[in-house]
Every structure is written in structure tokens, then in C-alpha cells.
Amino acid sequence: MSRPLAMTVELARYLLPRRSWPGKGRLFPMVLMLEPLEACNLRCAGCGRVREYTGVMERLMPVEEALDVAHRAGAPVVSVSGGEPLLHPQIAGIVEGLIGQGRWIFLCTNGLLLRRSLPRFRPDKRLCFVVHLDGTARVHDEVTGHPGAYAEAVAAIAAAREKGFRVATNTTAFHGSDPADLHELFRTLAGLGVEGIMLSPGYAYEQVPERELFLKREEAVRVFREILDGEKFPFYDNPLFLDFLRGEVTYPCAAWAIPTYTVLGWRVPCYLIADRHTPDLGEVLDPELWTRYGPGNDPRCAGCMLHAGFEPASVFDLLSHPWRLLRRGR
């Protein structure tokens, strides 16, 4: 199983005219991160959202607002997250509306509510459930603090695949992540027929007290080389981003390409850091803003390697230099 060819074609049509990034300061969204609520049924170690949005956990984004934001952003891909989006009573209406706009949707979930929620959706090539798993049962259940979380997530993946839904997964690597355990997880996921496995290092949110969880840059490179080299798995990430995780290439932060809209508005500057919120996407896409953020500009960005910041830069690199793929592994 792999991502739909139509998705690749539509993304190429959208990105190729913009491949001269940064092109005289013209910034644009590639993926919209849409958080229609921040409430969650888990309180995972290392999660910043449940701490950042404590005061607005009851707030729900109306369907009309979610669709208007997607229309104004114009990004071909929308990643619906939170919080746990399946807790939103109108999440199916949001997804249906985004499909009607011609968006490609990744609905991110911890999987605990997925099996019972499947009747709310219909299989569509534009919808992919993304189930978060940080290891096999022992590791994942410890991270989530919820015994049985792994078993339910795996059962939900199998049920969704059986009903014809597209399914991918997302895994965050933390300090102490065991590459052998992750390889076992990836073998299980490949056997379930997932479309792809997304991979990223965790980020040390200021609000998260368990700061010892997070990888330093040097450690991250070592860990990701162990995870990525050797046995082959169906990774969803851009191959050049995987090279970035290995420490074989460097990229500037391009977090502006994946702006995040929450129940409080657009996060400024990015998915990871919210110094403020704004109703105006133009503030996030202001080139002047990005002279103050990113590695070398803001100390909070120094160790960041998150896909939301650096995978867009790897995509732009690939569009401008497609021959780089041919040189990989030489």
C-alpha cells in the first residue's frame, strides 16, 4: 500500500510553481495543521498541548470556521489534530467539508476512539487516518500512561484497513527510545498494511516538565541512524528529511510552510512555539517574522529537528534538485 498517485500529482502541481523558495520572500502554506479542539482522552508524557491549552479544553471549533480557515489557507493537505480530534462531535462534518474542498486529509488520532468512530466516516482516497504509536505495547502504554493503549490502537488500524480506509502511523523518538523496539513496531505496522510510517524526534516544550525525555541533536542523529539504517520499512517521510535526521544534510527551518490554526487562532510562530495567537495568517507568512525564529535566531529552536519545521525544506530541496535522490546511498 502506498499514498495515492493522485495526491502526488496534485501536490506537484501546487508546489512546482513555488519551487524557487524562498523566492524574494514569498512564503506559502504547504500543509495546514488544523486543531479543532485541544481536549484529549490521554495525557502523554512529552505532550505540550494538554499543558498549553488548559484553559480552553472545552472549546470546540465550529465546522464553518474550520472550512473557512482551510479555504483561506489554500494548502492542498490538511493535518487534523489536537487534542484528540475524534472527541469533536462534528469531526465527520469537518472531514466531509474538507474533502468537498478537494483537500487531502490526515486525521491524527491516538486510536482509542477510532474503532467506534469508523461508522461516522466513509472511505475516501482523500482521507487517511494517522495513528500515533511510540513503540510496542510496553513502551507505548508507558508513554501514554494508559494500559492497553497499544492493543487498542493496533486493533483500530486493522479494523480501519478491513473497512477500506487509508491508514498511516506517526512515531516520536524520545531519549531512551530503543531502536530494536521501534523496529519490532515497524514490522507489525508493515504487516498490518499501513500506507506509511512517519517519524520525528520529540521537542522539549517549555510547558513539559519531563524534559529529560527529549533528544539532544547529537544524540538524535545517532539514534536515527540506528533506526533508519539496515532493515527497510515503508517510511512516509521525504527521503531527504530522513537524511536530515541521520545528520547527513542540514536544512533551514521552514515551519511557516506548515502553519497551525487552533481554537485560539494561528500559532505564532509555529506548531511548537506559540508566543501569541493571531487571526491573520499573513503574520505567520511574514518573512520578517522568520528572521527572529529558527536555529541561530531563537535559543528555543536550537535542538529542534521536528518534521513540521524541516521536512518542508527537504521537499523544496527535492523539487529544485531531484537528482539528489539518485545520489542517496552512494
Q: Which of 184, 65, 74, 189 is nearest to 136 (CA)?
A: 184
Q: Is the pLDDT of residue 135 over 60?
A: yes
Distance separating alpha carbons of residues 87 and 109, to the nearest angstrom:
10
| Cβ atoms of 44 and 143 closer than 8 Å | yes
| Cβ atoms of 235 and 190 closer than 8 Å | no
> What is the pLDDT confidence band of residue 201, given thresholds at 50, 70 and 90?
confident
Domain range 5-327, CATH class: alpha beta
pTM assigned to the model: 0.92
| Residues forming beta bridges with residue 78, ordered by sequence position | 32, 105
Amino acid at 181: D
pLDDT digits (tens, 9 = 90+) for 17-73: 886 655 556 799 999 999 999 999 888 766 767 778 989 999 999 999 999 999 999
Q: Where are the alpha helices (DSSP H) in 118-216?
A: 137-144, 149-162, 179-191
pLDDT digits (tens, 9 = 90+) for 288-305: 999 999 888 988 888 788
pLDDT digits (tens, 9 = 90+) for 122-134: 999 999 999 999 9
Q: What is the pLDDT of residue 216?
A: 62
Q: What is the pLDDT of residue 280?
A: 97
pLDDT digits (tens, 9 = 90+) for 242-282: 999 998 999 999 999 999 999 999 999 999 899 999 999 99
Domain boundaries, the chain: 5-327
